[in-house]
């Protein structure tokens, strides 16, 4: 009896489907077996360990700052005049009183005459106010005038004195010479020969080259814990480390950045020895707390769990033992352990996700 062609096609199709299904099942089993393969050998999961020791630990916050001069003076004239000489250049060492710039004498002739008249008038007014104060004091001693008359006369005399000093200082500057007010180094020359010097417009900037300060912008959450005298570890771009202490913490914050300025003076000997210069970058580790002789564990050995708890795995008789710990100070790479571990314990620092209580481990070469 001949089978219809349609039946033959159906039988052949079913055979092909069943064959493919069998191959697929076999392949899936093979892949699952491969995927479930563990790195574990017959000796256990390979792990690296660190032996627990005691040591010193500090907690700090780090910021990158800039070396700035402790003293920086923007030197300007109080009168206008054409600059005829600028005998200094950037980087020049200067002493207090050294000439920085000279103005055209001819341009200053009329100004000098006017200033001398002002000074004579200021002297006259000062003498008048002093005589008036002397008379008021004599009357007050006799009980003829109240105390507020003395105070008023004293204020008038002091105002006249301040005005006279101001005119005298301006006249001294108008002698066509601009002198350095401090010992230091010229950090910037802001004008050229032939320029007009204007009152209050800086011509030269002088910094005290041997007195530098590391200046940092610190965020508010850390600024709250910073006080003058607090220890700071400083690191230069070449890796050299020096120590210092906070010298100043700004009492106010920048409302835009929510940060405040913190300054750390640099020892003069370090400035000279290391050749430090204005504008260099410097990293500061501000020490918040320190402990001595603490049980220390690497951060990568600690596993956090719910509700603030933590644990580590230690090696006990070739197996992983899960040990809850109570932590303390947190450093850059280590954590203080207050309870749960002792010196000599070997904690695991690798393959922690493959471990559980009692699992056999194969200890590899100990990490550092």
DSSP for residue 113: H
Going by DSSP bridges, is the β-strand pair 241-245/346-348 parallel, antiparallel, or unpaired? unpaired
Bridge partner list, 58: 290
Domains 61-69+209-290 and 74-207 in one fold: no
**pLDDT tens, position by position, 135-157:** 999 999 998 889 999 999 999 99
Task: State mean pLDDT over 89-117.
Answer: 80
Six-digit token pair at 233?
Answer: 């570890």
DSSP for residue 189: E
Six-digit token pair at 64?
Answer: 């990158």
Task: State mean pLDDT over 161-189.
Answer: 80
**pLDDT tens, position by position, 256-300:** 999 999 999 999 889 888 988 888 999 999 988 888 899 999 999
Bridge partner list, 242: 234
Residue 15 has pLDDT above 70, yes or no: no
Spatial CA neighbour of 79 closest among 172, 183, 144: 172
C-alpha to C-alpha distances, 27 to 15, 21, 120, 206, 224, nearest whole angstrom:
18, 10, 110, 81, 63
pLDDT at 262: 95
Residue 174: pLDDT band by 50, 70, 90 thresholds?
low
Residue 23: pLDDT band by 50, 70, 90 thresholds?
low
Spatial CA neighbour of 125 closest among 159, 87, 75, 148: 159
Q: Which CATH architecture has domain 74-207?
A: Beta Barrel (2.40)
Q: What is the Cα–Cα distance from 168 to 155, expressed in whole angstroms?
A: 20
pLDDT at 36: 44
Question: Where exactly are the structural domains of the chain?
Answer: 45-57+292-363, 61-69+209-290, 74-207
Pick 193 or 210 by higher pLDDT.
193
Residue 18 has pLDDT above 60, yes or no: no
Residue 77: pLDDT band by 50, 70, 90 thresholds?
confident
Average pLDDT score over the chain: 83
Residue 32: pLDDT band by 50, 70, 90 thresholds?
very low
Are 57 and 290 spatial neighbours (Cβ–Cβ below 8 Å)?
yes
Residues 61-69+209-290: name the CATH superfamily: Efflux pump adaptor protein, beta barrel domain (2.40.30.170)
Q: Which residue has the tokens 């003058």?
A: 228
Pick 22 or 155 by higher pLDDT.
155
* pTM for the whole structure: 0.51
When mean pLDDT is compared across 27-31, 101-105, 200-204, 304-308, the lowest value belongs to 27-31
pLDDT at 224: 87
Domain 45-57+292-363 has CATH 2.40.420.20: yes
Are 204 and 100 spatial neighbours (Cβ–Cβ below 8 Å)?
yes
């Amino acid at each position: 009896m001949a089978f219809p062609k349609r039946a033959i096609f159906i039988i052949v199709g079913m055979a092909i489907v069943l064959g493919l299904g069998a191959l697929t099942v076999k392949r899936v089993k093979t892949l699952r077996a491969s995927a479930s393969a563990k790195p574990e050998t017959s000796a256990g999961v390979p792990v690296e360990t660190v032996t627990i020791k005691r040591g010193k630990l500090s907690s700090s916050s780090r910021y990158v700052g800039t070396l700035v001069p402790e003293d920086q003076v923007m030197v300007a004239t109080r009168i206008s005049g054409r600059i005829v000489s600028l005998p200094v250049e950037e980087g020049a060492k200067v002493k207090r009183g050294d000439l920085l710039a000279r103005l055209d004498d001819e341009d200053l002739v009329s100004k000098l005459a006017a200033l001398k008249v002002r000074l004579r008038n200021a002297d006259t007014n000062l003498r008048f106010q002093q005589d008036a104060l002397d008379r008021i004091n004599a009357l007050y001693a006799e009980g003829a005038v109240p105390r507020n008359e003395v105070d008023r006369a004293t204020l008038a005399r002091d105002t006249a004195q301040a005005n006279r000093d101001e005119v005298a200082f301006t006249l001294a500057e108008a002698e066509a010479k601009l002198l350095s007010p401090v010992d230091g180094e010229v950090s910037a020359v802001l004008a050229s020969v032939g320029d007009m010097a204007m009152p209050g417009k800086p011509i030269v900037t002088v910094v005290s080259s041997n007195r530098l300060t590391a200046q940092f912008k610190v965020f508010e959450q850390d600024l709250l814990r910073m006080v003058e005298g607090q220890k700071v570890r400083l690191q230069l771009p070449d890796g050299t480390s020096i120590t210092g202490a906070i010298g100043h913490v700004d009492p106010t914050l920048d409302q835009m950045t929510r940060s405040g300025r913190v300054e750390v003076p640099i020892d003069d000997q370090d400035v000279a020895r290391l050749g430090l210069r204005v504008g260099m970058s410097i990293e500061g580790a501000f020490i918040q707390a320190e402990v001595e002789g603490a049980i220390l564990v690497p951060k990568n050995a600690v596993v956090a769990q719910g509700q603030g708890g933590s644990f580590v795995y230690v090696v006990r008789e070739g197996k992983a033992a899960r040990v809850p710990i109570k932590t303390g100070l947190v450093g850059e790479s280590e954590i203080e352990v207050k309870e749960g571990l002792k010196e000599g314990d070997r904690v695991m620092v690798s393959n922690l996700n493959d471990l559980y209580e009692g699992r056999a481990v194969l200890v590899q070469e100990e990490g550092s």
